[in-house]
Structure formats: structure tokens, C-alpha cells
Amino acid sequence: MNTTSANNPPLPPTPAFNMLRTLGLVATLSGLLVVLSYQVTLPMIERNKQQAIEKALYKVVPGAVQRKDFVAIEERIELLDTQPEGTLLYAGYDQTGQLKGIALETAAAGYQDVIRLLYGYDPYCQCIRGIQVLKMAETPGIGDKIIKDARFQQNFEALEARMHPSGKGLQQAIVPVKQGNKTEAWQIDAISGATISSNAVARMLNETSQHMVPIIMKNLPIMEQF
């Protein structure tokens, strides 16, 4: 394999300028190509991201066919301007412009990596109406049951997330329980064998809802106008 032999004459020394010229040229070319492909693909990537969120939104907010984006800045919620600086909220409306629910993004560490999901909150029943995983790397056949297991998905038909009468946090925290032990509307029936992934879902829904539900309920009139 090694074909260099002792008979080869020694190479003349390479001038430093030649090395700099090659590296400089290649780096410039590289910069041009990378920036060009970034510029060309950026609108397509943005569109894909929007489509992914829209698709998930219509699944987690039953009955929604159109959307409006809001942003929560501290205790206020306002229509999304060009520069989002707070938590994003996607409000879903039916054809007549009636608010059907609000989708929120949440995330927590799962078994392999962070699980990111979008969930739909119905402010009229004060409950969670559905979850859609945006990104995860859970073990196929085990942790990914949080998407595929129909019984686990039933947890989110009307998972209670009621605001505490004091206006701070939830009346009842969302908690996971062992498979088959769900007795209350705020409990999540975990998947046996995928406890870490199920608990991660419960934890992120609880944490985000504890913080966001009071803000949503206080600012509901803003989001009700389409």
C-alpha cells in the first residue's frame, strides 16, 4: 500500500505564501458556498418549521382550522410582533373565529435526550386536549410509546389543569401514576416499561402549566378576539 520509496528525490521546500494562498482561497470559497446555501435554504427551512408547528397545532387543539400567534412577556400576553422575546403561544380558532384552544411548547429531559412537545390547552374546560412530540430520541419500541401507545394518548383527551383559586399555579399538580392506577382527572397513567419517558411528559406538562395557565386565564379576552 505504501508506495513512497527511498529513491524519491526530496521535495523542494514549499514557500509559506503558497500555503497561505491555498488555505485562504479554500476558506473564502467555503465561506461563499456556506453563506449562499444558507441564504437559499432559509425561507424553505422557516416554512417547514411553520408547517410542522401548524400540523401539530391542529392535532392538539381539536376543531381549530386557523391560528394566531401570541407571546407571553412576564404576566402579559400580546400579539406576536416580529421579535419574539417571551414564551410563544399559538391560539387555534374554528371557522367562525371562536377560540378553540391554545398550544404551548414544552420540553424536559427524557431517557436519551430532551423531549420537546406541543400541547393543546383548552381554557374553557381548563384541561389539556392533546400532545404532539416535536422532537425526541427515545428508544424505539420502548420510550417512543409516548407517541404510539393509544392508551397513553387517552390521558390527554381531557387532562385537568385547573388554575388555583388564588391565581397562582395549578389547583392540582399534574402527576404520573403507575399503569392502571389513574383515579383522578389530573393524573397521567404511565406506560409500564417506559416510566422515564412517561414521567418526563408529566413533569414538563406540570411545570409549564403551573407557570402558564394562570397567565393564559388572566389574559384570555385578548386571545378570544380573532
Partner 1 sequence: MASLPNQQETITLDTFLRGLWQENPVFVMLLGMCPVLAVTNSAINALAMGLASTFVLVASNSLVSLMRHFIPKQVRIATYIIIIATFVTMVDYAIQAISLELYNALGAFIQLIVVNCMILGRAEAYASKQRLGATIINGLGIGAGFTFALLCLGIVREILGAGSLFGFDLFGDQFQPWVVMILPPGGFFVLGAWLLLFNWLRTRREAKLLETEGAPHDG
For the bound state, the minimum distance from the C-beta of residue 151 to partner 1, rounded and expressed in Å, comes to 16
In Å, the largest CA–CA distance within the chain is: 90
Please, are residues 142 and 194 in contact by the beta-carbon 8 Å criterion? yes
| Number of residues lying near partner 1 (CB under 8 A) | 31
For the bound state, the minimum distance from the C-beta of residue 25 to partner 1, rounded and expressed in Å, comes to 8
For the bound state, the minimum distance from the C-beta of residue 113 to partner 1, rounded and expressed in Å, comes to 9
Contact between 225 and partner 1 by CB under 8 A: the answer reads no
Of 22 and 225, CB closest to partner 1: 22
Q: Which distant-in-sequence residues (6+ apart) come within 8 Å of 74 by Cβ?
A: 86
Please give the C-alpha separations between residue 18 and each of 11, 21, 31, 43, 137, in angstroms, as whole numbers.
15, 5, 20, 39, 46
3-state secondary structure at position 63: coil
For the bound state, the minimum distance from the C-beta of residue 118 to partner 1, rounded and expressed in Å, comes to 14
User: Per-residue string for binding with partner 1, 22-51, x by CB under 8 A?
Assistant: xx-xxx-xx--xx--xx-xx--xx--xx--
For the bound state, the minimum distance from the C-beta of residue 57 to partner 1, rounded and expressed in Å, comes to 15
For the bound state, the minimum distance from the C-beta of residue 153 to partner 1, rounded and expressed in Å, comes to 17
Contact between 114 and partner 1 by CB under 8 A: the answer reads no
Q: Strand 99-109 relative to strand 187-189: parallel, antiparallel, unpaired?
A: unpaired
Contact between 14 and partner 1 by CB under 8 A: the answer reads yes
3-state secondary structure at position 69: strand
DSSP 8-class letter at 178? -
Among residues 10, 11, 85, 184, the one that binds partner 1 under rule CB under 8 A:
11
User: Per-residue string for binding with partner 1, 126-155, x by CB under 8 A?
Assistant: ---------x-x-xxxx-------------
3-state secondary structure at position 53: helix
DSSP 8-class letter at 191? P
Of 142 and 220, CB closest to partner 1: 142
Of 39 and 96, CB closest to partner 1: 39
Q: Which distant-in-sequence residues (6+ apart) come within 8 Å of 143 by Cβ?
A: 110, 111, 112, 136, 194, 196, 197
Angle at 157 between CA 152 and CA 163, to 5 degrees: 110
Contacting positions for partner 1 (CB under 8 A): 1, 3, 11, 14, 18-19, 21-23, 25-27, 29-30, 33-34, 37-38, 40-41, 44-45, 48-49, 52, 135, 137, 139-142
